[in-house]
Amino acid sequence: MIFLPLIMETCAGNSCLRAELPLMPIDLLVPLYSLPPREEGAASVRDSGVVIRRANPFELTRVREFICRHFAQSWADEVGSTFARQPLPCFLALEEGRIVGFAAYDATRKAFFGPTGVDAAVRGRGIGRALLVEALWGLHDLGYAYGIIGAAGPVAFYEKAVGARPIEGSWPGIFADLLQKNVPEESRPTENS
């Protein structure tokens, strides 16, 4: 999951989230054989009125809209790739029937966790961690021994929540040779300029 300006083609042109990126992103390794108990997933936030469940295929457009509005189009594309599979490897967090967070897995690459995000208005209530735990159990149940958090943003969050550890030398890893943002037609040099 990567938020570099290089591929930061947000729908809303929102650049404030870049502040979450460390200077040099790094992949993290998560041992899936020692995850927090399953009860620390969806069940941990149910009493606060938050439902965490798998996305349904017919919700793709709504999920894409949420991710584009709050995060990045490239993340919506990554998550969209999961919608043709069953069980669908993307969890949603809902409050009063509206999406407030999401977490995908086995999307960017096999065994990868992410992208993930929680609406800024409801952060700090345990939703991000619950989504993380739920999704990592999803990876565990696919048979993986380790999960990978690609180009992790909030490293301290992952270290504390699930004991993630940096993978030395993992940058740029799979994120080498990325597409540059498209230059609008009208600002391209012409033969006369």
Ligand X SMILES: CC(C)(COP(=O)(O)OP(=O)(O)OC[C@H]1O[C@@H](n2cnc3c(N)ncnc32)[C@H](O)[C@@H]1OP(=O)(O)O)[C@@H](O)C(=O)NCCC(=O)NCCS
Neighbours of 37 (CB within 10 A): 10
Say whether the peptide bond before residue 31 is cis (omega within 30 degrees of 0).
no
CA distances from 121 to 40, 70, 74, 86, 103 (A): 22, 11, 22, 31, 17
Q: Which residue is nearest to ligand X (CB)?
A: 128
Cβ distance to ligand X smaller for residue 153 or 184: 153
Contact stretch for ligand X (CB under 6 A) within 34-42, 61-69, 115-123, 183-191: 115-123
Using the rule CB under 6 A, give the single segment among 32-40, 76-84, 125-133, 177-185 that binds ligand X: 125-133
Which of the ranges 7-15, 117-125, 136-144, 184-192 carries the binding residues for ligand X, by CB under 6 A? 117-125
CB proximity list for 156: less than 8 A, separation 6 or greater: none
Pairing of strands 98-105, 112-118: antiparallel
Count of CB atoms within 10 A of residue 96's CB? 8
Task: Pick the piece of the chain touching ligand X (CB under 6 A) from 31-39, 78-86, 112-120, 178-186.
Answer: 112-120
Question: Cβ 193 to ligand X, closest distance in Å?
Answer: 40
Q: Which of residues 40-69 bind ligand X (CB under 6 A)?
A: none
- DSSP letter, residue 39: G
Strand locations in the chain (E): 28-31, 50-54, 90-95, 98-105, 112-118, 146-149, 165-166
User: Rule CB under 6 A: is residue 160 a binding residue for ligand X?
Assistant: yes
- Single out the residue of 35, 153, 164, 175 in contact with ligand X (rule: CB under 6 A): 153
Answer yes or no whether residue 125 interacts with ligand X by CB under 6 A: yes
**Which residues contact ligand X by CB under 6 A?**
1, 17, 20, 114, 116-118, 123-129, 152-154, 156-157, 160-161
